[in-house]
Amino acid sequence: MKKHLLWLVTAAIFAAMLSAAVAAQQQQVALTVTINSNGQPASDVQVVLELANKNKVSSATTASDGTASLNVLDIANMGKVQVDVVIEQDCPDGQTHVIVTVEGQQPDDNGCKKHKKALAFLLIPGGGQHLIVDIGLGTAAVTPSGEPIATPAATSSPATHLVWVQFGGNVGFKQFNNLDSCNSILIVFPGADCKAGDKSVAAGVEGTFGITPYFGLGVVYTRTGQIQRTSETSSSNDSDKIGTQFTAVTGQGFLPLKHVIFSAEAGAAFSQFREMESQALASGSPPSTVVTHLHDNVVGPMVGGRIQIPINHLIAVQARYDWVRAKDQPGLDEHNNVALFGIVITLQ
């Protein structure tokens, strides 16, 4: 009985040791990889390990948590290998690739338009290393056994892009508040036949000088079409047209998420109203027509917000809304409520 018990205990200990050895072996022959995009886990990213002569040793695709595991067993007999981490974007398959290849070797040509070397480090089979890549920021780092690496063999890009430039164009519409309405005509001529519009097309350009992914200084120029008011009375026919434009200088804040970037801005806007009035007087012989052109310049606050959806690392589509207090007078309280849709290009 005691011999059987001793045999069972020995077998249990052996099984536990074997299990621990297998787990340790699996950890030693695998390079753990985590892929993020602007700090958020990126799934369905292909990670490839290539050695000399572009021999594809191992490949994997990241899961929903952005992790993957590369088998480095085949290079165990090579010892330590200096490797480069290359990010490939704008690829024919629409995916982003992360290539781990021998230092100085160009990755296999997959037809990708964008290649960026993000990191060089010493790959150690059995070292339990963890490679972390951010494809949105174009950065990478490696840690041994979960601890920050302190070896000079590993070099990485800055954690964030400290300086970047963005520019773009937009089209949309403006909703006039109470400008050029029929109220003033009907007060003086209650029986007048008056029609007035309150919406016009709008278009503009913008530029941002970014400082880190979270802050920037922006310039916005937007010009609207003209709305028209026509009125007819017993003594005159009036046709009034008015449009506006504004240039704003703002401070901006950005919140980059996995698939969308939110931003808000506030600053000062320099607005100009373009007014033209054509008045035909029915009295007198012959009837006379008076045309008046006016430009009214004002300064006021501006606030706005944007939603950007990146198409790739360079181009994004966006929707933006701007509110500008253009006039603040007892007889005329006019805001620029502008909704725009466009494309922006970011250079880093």
98 in Cβ contact with 66 (< 8 Å)? no
Q: Where are the domains of the chain?
A: 33-156, 163-347
Tell me how far apart the alpha carbons of residues 277 and 296 are, in angstroms, rounded to a whole number. 14
- pLDDT, position 239: 78
**Side chain identity at residue 234, one-letter code:** S
Which residue has 């205990």 as its token pair?
A: 9
* 270 C-beta neighbours (distance < 10 Å), count: 17
Structure-block tokens of residue 185: 């005509």
Distance, in Å, from the CA atom of 196 to the CA atom of 6, rounded to the nearest integer, reads 100
pLDDT in tens, 192-204: 788 877 888 999 9
CA distance 237 to 245: 27
The answer to whether 342 and 178 have CB atoms below 8 angstroms apart is: no
Here the tokens at position 271 are 């607005």
- Give the C-alpha separation, 72 to 113, whole Å: 28
pLDDT at 95: 85
As beta bridge partners, residue 333 has 328
In DSSP notation, 120-157 reads: EEEE-TTS-EEEEEETTTTEEEEEETTS----TT-EE-
Q: pLDDT at position 49, please?
A: 83
Model pTM score: 0.53
Return the CATH fold of 163-347. Answer: Porin (2.40.160)
Cis peptide before 286 (omega within 30 of 0): yes
144-187 pLDDT per residue, tens: 754 443 333 333 333 346 789 999 999 998 887 766 567 767 76
- Paired sense of beta strands 193-196 and 227-232, if any: antiparallel
Q: How is residue 29 annotated by DSSP?
A: T
Q: In terms of Cα–Cα distance, which of 219, 223, 298, 273 is closest to 251?
A: 219
Rounded alpha-carbon distances, angstroms, from residue 55 to 51, 165, 266: 5, 39, 53
Q: For 121-139, how does the pLDDT look when each residue is reduced to its tens digit (9 = 90+)?
A: 888 766 678 889 999 888 8
| Structure tokens given for 202 | 């709008």
Class of residue 264 by CB neighbours under 10 A (exposed 0-12, middle 13-18, buried 19+) = middle
How far is it, in rounded angstroms, from Cα 167 to Cα 318?
A: 12
Question: What does the DSSP 8-state code read for residue 212?
Answer: T
Predicted local distance difference test score (pLDDT) of residue 312: 82
Which ranges of the chain would DSSP assign to H, the alpha helix? 2-28, 183-188
pLDDT at residue number 15: 46
Residue from 206, 210, 201, 209 nearest 221 by CA: 206
Mean pLDDT for back-to-back runs of 10 residues, the chain (348 residues)? 46 43 45 88 87 69 88 61 87 87 80 86 75 88 58 39 88 78 71 80 94 92 86 76 88 90 94 74 59 75 93 90 76 73 90
- Are 114 and 49 spatial neighbours (Cβ–Cβ below 8 Å)? no
Which ranges in 219-317 belong to alpha helices (H)? Answer: none
Beta bridge partners of 117: 86
